[in-house]
Amino acid sequence: MKLKLTLFILCFQLVIAKAQTWCPAGATWYYSDVWPGVNGYSKYNYTTDTLINSVNCKKIAHYREGFSWSGGYYSNFVTPFYTYEQNGVAYLYNNLYGNNTFDTLFDMNAQIGDKWRFPLIDTTCADSLYFIQVLNTGTKVINGFNLKWLYVKRGPFDPNYDPNGPYLNYDFDTITERIGGCRYYDIFYSFCYGGTENDPQPCDKIRCYYDSTFGLYSTGISTSCDYYTTSVEEYELSNLNFSIYPNPATEQLNIVFSASTETVATLQIHDIVGRLIELVTIKAGESYNYNTSSLPRSVYSVSLYIDDKLAENKKLVLIK
């Protein structure tokens, strides 16, 4: 009898250790803020329960902190998120454009080849283009928990783009049970495919995850969960004029740089994931014309460096 009781307790503890829960007590996520000219992090934590459309949801607060080349130090709370889980599927409340619906955040029951609609976009957008597709699945042990993972690619998938070209209009992510994957909130479509929508933000990687049962897990991509640096050194020059137009642009970008003295600067254009697109030298008083027709719709960073120091940084939006 004593042996049976001991085996029962061990089995019960094993079941508890393997039980997976989305957003349990104490659930907290830290993500790196991925944006040209920004060095910071975002913290998400489960705060309370609330009803939305008669569904019991969990409210997740969103706090941001870091340093921006253009705006300096920032620290603020932004729009919270609402989520719930049912039968292995996590849902995210979507009220963009008055959608008032729940999107599938991830489906841990999914198998290779399965798809679900990309979360947090306009519900009138075509499901055939805006989706997440499972490429592979497996399991791994983290903090003693046996967790399922999904390796996925995410859109939009624009048939007008060459998938073998230098600019991919999709990226990849590993979604891990309980922990999740990339954050999906950085989507700002103004129209559906065929209009002038912007591409999604890059895959913002998770730094740390914690909940009261699971404990703390760090992915190791940052020295700490809430680390950021203010080491960007800006160059000060009187009467500096740096402008780009038109913005938003379609096929041609004009860049104008002038200063009070004869100055040579380096012009750099980076895409939304930080890849260098263009690097040229420009003198004060000169203008530079750049053909953007080969670049996909997205947001870019146009930076002017003088003596290896950042003089000014501007955001460029390309529309087609």
Give tens-digit pLDDT for 247-263. 888 889 999 888 877 78
Q: With 90 as the cut, is the pLDDT of residue 316 above it?
A: no
What pTM was estimated for this model as a whole? 0.65
**Average pLDDT in the chain:** 78
Three-state secondary structure string covering the chain? CHHHHHHHHHHHHHHHHHCCCCCCCCCEEEEEECCCCEEEEEEEEEEEEEEECCEEEEEEEEEEEEEECCCEEEEEEEEEEEEEEECCEEEEEECHHHCCEEEEEEECCCCCCCEEECCCCCCCCCCCCCEEEEEEEEEEEECCEEEEEEEEEECCCCCCCCCCCCCCCCEEEEEECCCECCECCCCCCCCCCCCCCCCCCCCECEEEEEECCCEEEECCCCCCCCCCCCCCCECCCCCCEEEEECCCECCEEEEEEECCCCCEEEEEEECCCCCEEEEEEEECCCEEEEECCCCCCEEEEEEEEECCEEEEEEEEEECC
The residue to which tokens 């592979």 are assigned: 136
- Predicted local confidence at residue 273, as pLDDT: 57
- Predicted local confidence at residue 4, as pLDDT: 42
Q: With 70 as the cut, is the pLDDT of residue 15 above it?
A: no
R_g (Cα) of the chain, nearest Å: 23
Give tens-digit pLDDT for 40-56. 899 999 999 999 999 99
Section 127-153 average pLDDT: 90
Distance (Å, rounded) from C-alpha 143 to C-alpha 215? Answer: 7
- Residue that wins the pLDDT comparison between 120 and 242: 242
Is residue 162 a contact partner of residue 173, using CB atoms and an 8 Å limit?
no
pLDDT band at residue 156 using 50, 70 and 90 as cut-offs = low
- Predicted local confidence at residue 276, as pLDDT: 75
Q: With 50 as the cut, is the pLDDT of residue 184 above it?
A: yes
pLDDT band at residue 186 using 50, 70 and 90 as cut-offs = very low
* Identity of the highest mean pLDDT range in 207-211, 260-264, 279-283: 207-211
Q: With 90 as the cut, is the pLDDT of residue 179 above it?
A: yes
Give tens-digit pLDDT for 43-100. 999 999 999 999 999 999 999 988 876 667 888 998 899 999 999 999 999 887 788 9
Q: With 90 as the cut, is the pLDDT of residue 114 above it?
A: yes
pLDDT band at residue 233 using 50, 70 and 90 as cut-offs = low
The answer for residues whose C-beta is within 8 angstroms of residue 214's C-beta and 6 or more apart is 24, 143, 145, 178
- What tokens does 3 get? 């042996």
Q: With 80 as the cut, is the pLDDT of residue 235 above it?
A: no
Give tens-digit pLDDT for 291-312. 988 888 877 888 888 776 777 8
